[in-house]
Structure 1
Amino acid sequence: MKRSAVLIMCLAVLFSIAFAVEPIKIGAVSPLGDITGKESTRAMQLAVKEINDAGGILGRPLQLIIMDDEMKPASGAAAIDKLATVDKVDFFVGGMGSGVHLAEIPALKKYQKVTVWIGAADHNCENAVGADADWYFHLHPWDYQQGEGYGLAWTEIAKKYNIKIEKVFLAYEEGAFGTGSYTSYVDFFNQAKKGQGSWAAVMKQFVGASFKSASFGGGDYRAVLNQAKTFNPDLFVWAGYDADAIPIVAQAKEVNFTPKLFVGAPPGWPANYGKNPLAENVILYGMWSPTLSDVSPAAERFFNAYVKMYGEEPTGYFAPLGYINIYFLAEGIKKAGSLDKDAVIKALETVQFKDTALGEPLKITPSRVIKHQGFKYQKILQWQNGKQQVIWPLDLATAKLVYPFSFKK
């Protein structure tokens, strides 16, 4: 009995000594007051815990140091500076808003640490990073990649369900995220007018109008909704934030605007949004849904682990993105065999996952500007009976499209 106790004590001491080595420090910057940032950092913490419970990387534990960017550009830039100079992190991860990231990029370029970013869809961020930033890896699709994917998706959906999509209206928040989306739609419309690009078959007319997001003091969408109602689109899309999700649908009902396809495109959705009657049959652009657990083992593992650790389901795709963020970086460090910057960059370039928490593979390829882009397209989902069902890609579909949209009585 005494021998067993001594052995257990020795093992405990050895384990503590092994993890007394300097941790690998990862600096994460996210908007913690926003559900998107909250869930992505939670998922990062989950991934770090799993990796450390399995022995860490290169015999060292991971340490995640989290900073709140408060959805403010100045706060995001200050967070990068602090993590680099005070906390002396080895790597940067995280992100959400494009406007914040534009302010962070000069600081990231100053330190040039290996960075794996999951936020910022605005192509202006890609331009600001530049083609020579080999230390920069971006996992979230850029706005023009998303737009290309949506064109492919609606073309396939229109054909499968024999529906007409010709008139498209985009209501977009007036910040960097929304205006970046609008610029991309304009580019695709100009291509479509020439019979070119992924939207050629489903965009004969296009109109866009801006609104002030509730996340930044706005919240009255009646003007843009009435403009859309007059246009009478086949496809209505709003690009804003989670704070806009409920009031924009409520005000659409108020002004009697009922487009055949009602699509929301925020980076994250409010908790329990699907339980709100206004959510029924609303379509969303996203990268993940809990129902992907039915078709993807990796998505199922992530979902179950997240629920077990936090006692609630994630509401949006930034949670699995955050989880992938850490595992992708960890795999690169592991393959590199050291923290040497050049070795880690080369290793990350070769990392491939056949399946991920998003229910799809991950492989690094160049985008228009940067060398290291991860995911390319989003998915088409629809709220049906409180659940996000996958409509497209068709081979991952978990339900049929409910068409046309109507408000639940």
Structure 2
Amino acid sequence: MMKKIMVLISRVFVISLLFSFISVNTAITAETIKIGAVLPLADITGKDASRSMQLAVKQINATGGLLGKQVELVLADDENKPDKVAAAIEKLVNVDKVDVIVGGTGNATTMEAIPVLKKYAKVTVWSGASSAKVDQALEDQDWFFHIHPWDYELGAYYEKMWQVIVQKYPEIKRKKTFVAYREDPFGSDILSVGSPVARAYLNVMQGEVYTTEPVSNLKEILSSAKNFVEPDIFIWDGLDKDAILILEEAKNIGFAPPVYLGKTLLWPLDFGKQMGSEGVMFYSYWHESMKLRNKACLAYVEAFNKEFKESPVTYFGPLAYTNIMIVADAVKRAGSLERGAFIKALEATNYDSPLGDNFVFVRSLGVKHQAGANPKLMQWQGGEVKIIWPWELATAKLIYPFPAQGFNKEAISEEKAPPAPVAKKPAAKSAPAAKTKK
């Protein structure tokens, strides 16, 4: 009998310990605010973004957390694959029980994320996607906040940029633009974005899709641009691995337009050392060199370098940092995670970002809450990146026209031979009049 009593007591003790553990665990969970981030962790954008989010959370927790609780960042890897993103979000919501969803990078993964995001309608501050298709698919969703620019906004922005730049540098000509671009299923290439605005301002923008595999058509495209279009501005819109290939092809055929401009997520590490890189311009939302003119950028870069012993490479670093800080700021002002108060606080966001822009939510064509950074004009000078515009961030004066260092000078000087003048035939001498016989 005594043995049975002892067994019973032991069981009660074990059960009480188990319940005690569960209670403590629940209490710990309740004392944590969970932010769930969807990112491609093996990709450079995901690496920059996840590290920047971790940095932001560490800084927040070092100053007391939010609402007296520590913040926990839960990372979900979508592997940059559309068929993986839904499962990543399901896990964040149902297993990790996150309070808010952040992150996102590309158009394709975002489109596949939309159905599951709508299913749970959890407050989401999304840093990825630029396609109008995404904007339309999330129309009027009050829980969705977007902090990346839409492509359709950029055409007008580029036009404004060049109008301002030409006022300071009136020698710049920009009547004709030619674009060599990678085909984009979401219409995010610069020709699709810019040509409607160019037509509206009576400018000409033409372009062709370029390929490098299995056979490159770069020589044909650039030769066509050189000999027939003769653009004032040449833009290539593609992958970083193509940057040097295109530059070399342009050098070989002597294609040296007054403006040589690139649009790519990042540049090869040694691009600035390439002969011919001097004076190459490009559009970008951010570069580390902005720290020289922007305090928020300086603080972010210094903290990132201290934490990870290197600098972020892409703009998704400071954008992801901004993502977390916007959420944290709204939680503080809301005073709780109650849905209505949280959304209202997010709507009142006014955040000076290390991207050099102030983030304020306004309505776009589709989504109710849209904010984002603006592209800057940058230029390779002396092997380094210099900011040209906006003026408040500028670190150098514009080099114009494109110097074309190392380019095929003979090919550059070749001009289409003008048509040979038609030789005038000497006027036929009239035969002397026959003498009239008398």
Q: TM-score, normalised by structure 2?
A: 0.79
Q: In 1, Cα distance between the equivalents of 2:241 and 2:42?
A: 12
Q: 2:165 aligns with which of 157, 164, 169?
A: 157
Distance 2:372 2:93 in 1: 27
Report how far residue 181 of structure 1 moved.
3.8
The farther-off stretch of 308-317 and 30-39 is 30-39
Checking the alignment, whether the CA contact within 8 Å between 2:334 and 2:342 is kept in structure 1 is yes
Does residue 403 (structure 1) correspond to residue 412 (structure 2)? The answer is no
Partner amino acid, structure 2, of 1:401: L
CA 1:257/1:377 → structure 2, altered by over 3 Å: closer, same or farther? same
> 1:212, 1:401 → 2: CA distance?
31
Going from structure 1 to structure 2, the CA distance change for 1:295 and 1:376 (only over 3 Å counts) comes to: closer
Q: How does 1:157-306 map to 2 (within 5 A)?
A: 157-162=165-170, 163-176=172-185, 179=188, 181-193=190-202, 204-211=203-210, 221-230=218-227, 231-271=229-269, 273-277=271-275, 279-306=277-304
CA displacement, residues 284-304 of structure 1 (integer Å, 9 cap, x when unaligned): 211222232222211110111
Q: Does 1:51 align with 2:60?
A: yes
Show the counterpart of 2:321: 323
3-state SS of paired residue (1:126): helix
Bigger CA drift: 360-369 or 68-77?
68-77
Matched, 1:379 2:376: yes
Partner of 1:106: 115
Q: Residues of 1 paired with 2:90 and 2:268: CA distance?
A: 31
Amino acid across the alignment from 1:238: W
| Matched-pair contact (CA < 8 Å) for 1:352–1:362 | yes
Whichever residue aligns with residue 208 of structure 1, its letter is G
Measured against aligned partners, the alpha-carbon deviations of 1:303-352 in whole angstroms (never above 9, x if no partner) come to 11111111112223221111111101111111111112221111011121
Q: Is the 8 A contact 2:379 2:386 kept in 1?
A: yes
SS at match of 1:323: helix
Distance 1:405 1:289 in 2: 21
- Following superposition, the deviation at residue 137 of structure 1 comes to 1.1
- Paired residue type of 1:375: G
Whether the 8 Å CA contact 2:151–2:188 is kept in 1: the answer is no
C-alpha deviation, 1:264, in angstroms: 1.8
Are 2:189 and 2:237, in contact at CA under 8 Å, matched by a contact in 1? no
SS of corresponding position for 1:92 = strand
C-alpha contact (below 8 Å) 1:115/1:136 kept by paired residues:
yes
The 1-side partners of 2:223 and 2:187 are apart by 19
* Superposed displacement of residue 273, structure 1: 4.5
| Cα distance per residue 1:64-94 (max 9 Å; x no partner) | 2223333322123332233223322222212
- Please say which structure displays the higher CA radius of gyration: 2
Q: What pairs with 1:25-174 in structure 2 (closer than 5 Å)?
A: 25-130=34-139, 132-162=140-170, 163-174=172-183
Aligned length in residues: 380
Aligned residues of 1:99 and 1:175 also touching (Cα < 8 A): no
> Cα deviation per residue 1:342-373 (whole Å; 9 max; x = unaligned)?
211110111212x3211232211112221211
Give CA deviations for 1:212-268 in whole Å, capped at 9, x if unaligned.
588xx9976445434433422211222333343333333433443322222222233
Per-residue deviation, 1:276: 4.7
Alpha carbons of structure 1 residues 83 and 157: separation in structure 2 relative to 1, 3 Å: same
State the SS of the aligned residue for 1:121: coil
Q: What is the match of residue 310 of structure 2?
A: 312
**Secondary structure class of the residue paired with 1:67:** strand
Higher mean alpha-carbon deviation, 45-54 vs 232-241, is at 232-241
Residue identity matched to 2:151:
D
SS at match of 2:370: coil
Aligned equivalents of 1:376 and 1:311: distance in 2?
26
2:345 alignment counterpart:
347
CA contact (8 A) 1:272 1:315 kept: no
SS of the aligned residue for 2:399 comes to coil
Name the aligned partner's letter for residue 255 of structure 2. F
Alpha carbons of 1:376 and 1:309: their partners in 2 closer, same or farther (altered >3 Å)? closer
Residue identity matched to 1:205: V
| SS of aligned partner of 1:146 | helix
Give ranges in structure 1 of 5+ residues lacking alignment: 1-16, 194-203
After superposition, the CA RMSD in angstroms is 2.6
TM-aligned CA deviation for residue 407 of structure 1: 4.2
In 2 relative to 1, CA 304–270 (structure 1 residues): closer, same or farther, beyond 3 Å?
same
Aligned residues of 1:145 and 1:376 also touching (Cα < 8 A): no
Q: What are the Cα deviations for residues 46-68 of structure 1, in whole angstroms up to 9, with x where unaligned? A: 11111112121112222222233
Q: Provide the rounded CA distance (Å) in 2 between the counterparts of 1:92 and 1:120.
A: 15
Q: Which amino acid aligns with 1:63?
A: E
Q: Establish whether residue 389 from structure 1 lines up as the match of residue 386 from structure 2.
A: yes
Name the amino acid aligned to 1:281: G
1:11 match: none
One-letter amino acid of the counterpart of residue 143, structure 1: D
